[in-house]
């Protein structure tokens, strides 16, 4: 997993509407980039809804919020509509960004070992350098923790 002080790898992925979004296009602003396992699951829904509830606070701090998972554009569209998510959701079925940021890892669940996305959040500075990393982010506290960091 990437760490604080490293340059954030650039990528271009499609959003829920099939529009390509490039990370470097947000240079000059802070980006809250969070990776999550799957649309519509309980933890991922709580996390997304917490970011949505605090969305105006992130905007007031001139921070862009971007969620990334392996789900399809159509899945993201349904997820965003169902939960009124105002921020960018990017589809990464080929795991380009997921692997570049090092969040595709071995996971253990009930003794079974599988590979999957480890819920992680990166704050990327205006210069494209990672300012903060929260590995194994908690769905219920992640948005608040990031806001507290951004407020200093």
Q: CA 71, 147, 83: angle at the middle one, nearest 5?
A: 35
Q: How far apart are CA 58 and CA 87, in angstroms?
A: 10
Q: How far apart are CA 68 and CA 95, in angstroms?
A: 10
- What's the burial of 81, exposed, middle or buried (CB within 10 Å: 0-12/13-18/19+)? exposed
Annotation says 49 is catalytic: no
Catalytic residue from among 44, 48, 66, 118: 44
Q: List the catalytic residues.
A: 44
């Amino acid at each position: 997993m990437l760490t604080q002080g490293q340059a954030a790898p650039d990528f271009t992925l499609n959003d829920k509407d099939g529009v390509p979004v490039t990370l470097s296009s947000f240079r000059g602003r802070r980006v809250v980039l969070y990776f999550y396992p799957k649309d519509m699951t309980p933890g991922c829904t709580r996390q997304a809804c917490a970011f949505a509830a605090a969305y105006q606070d992130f905007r007031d701090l001139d921070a862009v919020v971007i969620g990334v998972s392996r789900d399809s554009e159509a899945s993201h569209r349904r997820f965003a509509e169902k939960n009124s998510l105002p921020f960018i959701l990017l589809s990464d079925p080929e795991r380009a960004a997921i692997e570049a940021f090092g969040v595709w890892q071995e996971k253990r669940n009930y003794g079974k070992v599988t590979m999957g996305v480890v819920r992680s959040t990166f704050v990327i500075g205006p210069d494209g350098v990672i300012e903060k990393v929260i590995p194994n982010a908690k769905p219920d506290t992640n948005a608040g923790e990031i806001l507290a960091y951004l407020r200093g």
